Every structure is written in C-alpha cells, then in structure tokens.
Amino acid sequence: MMRFCRSLLLGGAALAWLALAGCEPMPDAMLRPDGGGAWRDGAAPSDSGDDRLPPTNFAAPEGLAVAGDYLVVANSRYGFDGAGLVFREGFATVVDRRTARVVNRIPLAAKNAQVVATGTDRVWILCSGQTRFDGALVIPDGEGALVGIPLAGLATADAPDRVIRLPLDPSRPLVGYPSSLAIVGDRAWMGSGTAAALFQADLGAGRLVRGPDNPVLLGAAGDQDTLTVIPGSPGRLIAASFNRDRVWVLDAVTGAPIDGLSFEVGVSGSMDGILAAAWRPDGPPNLYLLLGMASRIAAVTFGAGTPQVFGNFAGTGSLPNSLLLDGDRLLILNSGDNNVRAIDAATGVELAFWASLPLSSNPYGMAVGDVAGGGRRLYVTGLMSNAVYVFDAGPGVVPGGQHQEIR
C-alpha cells in the first residue's frame, strides 16, 4: 500500500486522494544542495560508487515488524530528482530492540521495499517495484519481489537467501506492483497496488504460484484499483478494494471468494477508499477497515448470517494511514497529524493514549512488541525524517511526545 506523500506511486483512486490531501513541506535536510529536487536517502549517492546502500541507516522507511529481539524496517529508498521519481534498490535495517541500535543493513536486490512480515523461520519483505503515470493511469514499470531473510541471521546477513520475483505480463499492463502482504501458513498472499489482483507464493518452496500472468482477479484486469489483504479467521483471507469500498472473505488456499461474504462498506455513490484493515479474532467486532478518504473506521461483525457492518465505528485524525490491533485497543496512525491515537476495540470510544512525533516526520508504519522486564514498546517509522521512533506503550502509559529516536 502506498499512501501519504507518495501520490505518484499510487493506484488511480489513491492518487486522487493524495492529490486532494497534499503533502507536508519537505524538510530542508532532504533537499539536494543543487536545488534540483530531493534525495529521499537524505544525501546524494555515496562517493564509493556502491549504490546498494545509502550513507544513512534509514532511507524513506515504511513498513516494519518485530522479529524476536530485533526490529526489521523496510526502506523504500525512492526519491525525486527534479524531473520525476527515482527508484533505487531497497534495503532492510535491523535494529536490536534491547539496545535500540542499528546492527545491520541488508541490500534486497529489488526496488521499493514497503512491507515487512515475520514468518516461522524468516522475515519476509515485499518490494513493490516502480510505476509510471501515463496521464490517466498508474502503471507498473518493473517487477516486484518478495524476499526472505532467515531469522537466525538478521544481525549478520548481507543479502536475502530467498528472492521470489513477480515479473510483469505484457497482456495485463495494470496487473503488478504488489503492495500488501499476508502470510498464512506456508503461503504468502500479495495484493496489487494498481489492479484488483492477488498473487500467491509458496514460501517453503520459494516459488511464485500465482503471479501477474495468472492472478486471482477480484475485478476487471484493465480497471485501476488497489487491494489490501490480511489474514482472517483460520483458513480465511480478507481482501479489500480501495476504489470500490468492497470487501471479500476468501479461501486462504485457493483465493476463491466465500459465498455470501462479499460486501460494501462505503457510502453509496462515493469512494471512501479502504487503506488498511485489521482482524480481531476475539470480537465483536471482528474486522476494522480504515476509510482514508472519509477519515473514519468501519467495523464488521461476522456471525451465522450476513456480516453486520458499522460504517461509522470511529473517526480518525488527518490523513490516516494504518491500523494496528494491540490487545483491547486499536491504534490509528495519522500521517497528517504526526501521531498515533487509540480507540477501544470493542466500542470505538477514543482512549487517552496518544503518541506524538516531530513535525513533518510523516509517520508511515507501526509495530508493537514486548520487551524484557514486562514493558511494551510502540515503533513508528518516519517516512520523511529517515528515523524510527520508539514509545512506551505499556498498560496505562500515555507517552505523548516522549520518545526515543533511532537514526
């Protein structure tokens, strides 16, 4: 999923949403000294000529995930050179959570690293590839890849040991650009950021099962769309469309829609734009959907009959970007407000918890994890500030602006 301050990378509907919302001013530190644009690496390419890694520990960091004692951060490493977007090889930054220090940076041999998920024996990072805009549609312009790094080697690895590439199919020009990721058992499902298509990989075998040449289609292959995909109840997968505000419950093995479990959540006649989703196994509600263009959250309860949709379960802040279920609370990341707020997962009532980031940091992704001594931490990436922010998220704690900054 591509969101705030990444408008030229988005699918058509999400592109329109960002054009309306606008972006925060780019910090001076990100501007090129020649005035020709902005390096999102925070610096020009290194003098060594090795373009695999920038001189900074983070470069447009987006998704992140906790993996035991480590935090793994995906660096998309996109930039603007004065004429257009520039994509470079993405990389992963590994942080030791015990010391809050960067211990490794791993080139990923693929462009635009966006999403991180922890599997049984590896961390998996989804690299979306690049796009181009033809004046009407956002079109994939290079292959994506799902790369794996063994959990046991996070601090020492110098490359992924698994690279599953998603080559484009010329007969389906919009189908590609994988930008959401759900791991279910030994399979990975990926949602396209430019069409209503799902891809599948066999993680055990390290191979692509369904790619852009044979995707699971939840709409016409020639229509612009963006799909978010997350695990649902056992044996089930949830897919949600940005352009159509539609949700499907799918078989997690085949990707086939389950009869009677497809529904719409937006206001009729409008496009509220599903940006993110979160599953709550011990509901009700069971499913939360972030409607970015409407600045609200819809909630869904599943039972024996038709799913019950509560379209206005809770409001959000400015330019909401992500959801994360943390026990009995739902965390909401608001990129425009530079903060994370929380609501009661059962009632939607706003809680006292809030975590504030520096101005123009543009928080993008978040993760939570327990630490030694019984504490809990919230980790948030700063897309524009090239940093990760760490907050105390223990029971009853309201961190406010108190945070640790990792660079």
134 is in which domain, residue-wise?
A: 7-46+54-406
What is the pLDDT confidence band of residue 266, given thresholds at 50, 70 and 90?
confident
Distance CA 73, CA 306 (A): 39
Q: What is the CATH number of the domain that holds 357?
A: 2.130.10.10
Domain tally, the chain: 1
What is the pLDDT confidence band of residue 52, given thresholds at 50, 70 and 90?
confident
Complete DSSP assignment for 19-64:
HHH--PPPPGGGB-TTSS-B-TTSSPPPTT--TTS-SSS-SSEEEE
* Closest among 286, 97, 117 to 189, alpha carbons compared: 117
What is the pLDDT confidence band of residue 34, given thresholds at 50, 70 and 90?
very low
pLDDT at 250 over 50: yes
Q: What is the pLDDT of residues 132-144, one digit of tens each?
A: 999 999 999 999 9
- Kindly give the residue spans of alpha helices, DSSP state H, lying in 261-387: none
**Does some domain include residue 241?**
yes
pLDDT at 40 over 50: no
pLDDT reported for residue 38: 39
- Tell me what the pLDDT averaged over the chain comes to: 89
Distance CA 119, CA 302 (A): 27
Q: Which two tokens stand for residue 11?
A: 């699918």
pLDDT at 11 over 90: no
**Does some domain include residue 388?**
yes
Share of the chain above pLDDT 70, in %: 87
**Does some domain include residue 249?**
yes
pLDDT reported for residue 50: 54
Q: Tell me how far apart the terminal alpha carbons of the chain are, to the nearest angstrom.
A: 24
Q: When comparing pLDDT for 37 and 159, which is higher? A: 159
pLDDT at 39 over 80: no
Q: What is the pLDDT of residues 191-237, one digit of tens each?
A: 999 999 999 999 999 999 999 999 999 999 999 999 999 999 999 99
**Does some domain include residue 2?**
no
What is the pLDDT confidence band of residue 20, given thresholds at 50, 70 and 90?
very low
**Does some domain include residue 1?**
no
What is the pLDDT confidence band of residue 32, given thresholds at 50, 70 and 90?
very low
Task: Report the pLDDT averaged over residues 236-257.
Answer: 97
Most confident of 22-26, 133-137, 179-183: 179-183
- CA quadruple 134, 111, 248, 257: dihedral sign: positive
CB 277 within 8 A of CB 297: no
33-68 burial, b for 16+ CB within 10 Å, e for fewer? eeeebbbbbbeeeeeeeeebbbebbbbbbbbbbbbe
Q: What is the pLDDT of residues 279-329, one digit of tens each?
A: 999 999 999 999 999 999 999 999 988 999 999 999 999 999 999 999 999
